[in-house]
Amino acid sequence: MNAWQVLSVRPVGPEPTPPPEFGGPTVLVFPADQLGETLAGATAAAFGASLLGRITDMAHDRGDLVATRSSHGGRVAIDIRPDSQLAVATANVLPECDGEIELGAPETLSIDRTAIADQSVALESAPVVLGGGRGLDDAGFRQLETIAGLVGGAVGASLPAIDLGLAPVSRQVGQSGKFVTPRVYLAVGLSGTPQHLAGIGSATRLLAINNDPDAAIFQFAEAGVMADARSLLPVLAKVIEERLGAAK
């Protein structure tokens, strides 16, 4: 059985509710990998279920189901009470829960695939990675994508940036994310925590853009620019585009 075929159904309440009725609040838990995240989103959309994201725990509280999510780089735990009968989540380790039922794979399954442009360069094998942190916003991440497209690189992100929805979880670099070994890693709006730097190979040349002169990233970077990334990234993209155009 493939990993994504294992669905954990968790009936809640004094009496576990047997499938297929799905009478009580039920959570479908998918593995927290790329396919699991995709299937969780598609399942939630198809069935109008609550999407809980990546959960770390699940419990019963007076008949309610309470799922726990980690946020702010692990500093905050958020308890979520789904407001629908069906919820969908992903988890690295399936939380302990009584009444677990394993479902077989559906007889037919069709998945519509949509090409995602930024997946053309894999994060793990990219020669250049542009890592974005909490110091960026949506527009900042779009700028990183533009620059990555110009230089044949990939965009990475810190855990808080992912928690903020600025990048998909598949782009997380660090202790609990991916390990990358590009020739150059440009850290933008990243403070330089050990948990993030743990995901960057020691032979990688680290460059940084940060608006705080005391940011720890400057202690580890080979070169750094103290600047507001919101102003600098568009200029950087323009300069790279012009240089590449002139070199053709």
Ligand X SMILES: Cc1cc2nc3c(=O)[nH]c(=O)nc-3n(C[C@H](O)[C@H](O)[C@H](O)COP(=O)(O)OP(=O)(O)OC[C@H]3O[C@@H](n4cnc5c(N)ncnc54)[C@H](O)[C@@H]3O)c2cc1C
Q: Which residues bind ligand X (CB under 6 A)?
A: 73-74, 133-135, 158-161, 172, 174-177, 189-191, 193, 195-196, 199, 209-212, 215, 228-230
- CB nearer to ligand X: pick between 84 and 175: 175
**Helical (H) or strand (E) element with 90:** strand 86-91
Q: Residue 129 or residue 229: which is nearer to ligand X going by CB?
A: 229
φ, ψ at 223 (rounded to 5°): -150, 150
The nearer residue to ligand X, 146 or 191, going by C-beta atoms, is: 191
Query: Would the CA dihedral through 223, 228, 233, 234 be positive or negative?
Result: negative
Q: Which of 60, 230 has the CB closer to ligand X? A: 230
Provide, rounded to whole angstroms, the least separation between the CB of residue 155 and ligand X.
Answer: 13
CA dihedral 84, 86, 92, 98 (to 10 degrees): 100
The least distance separating ligand X from the CB of residue 163, rounded to whole angstroms, comes to 9
Query: CA 184, 138, 237 angle in degrees (round to 5)?
Result: 45
Report, in Å, the least distance between residue 226 CB and ligand X.
Answer: 9
CA quadruple 102, 107, 112, 115: dihedral sign: positive
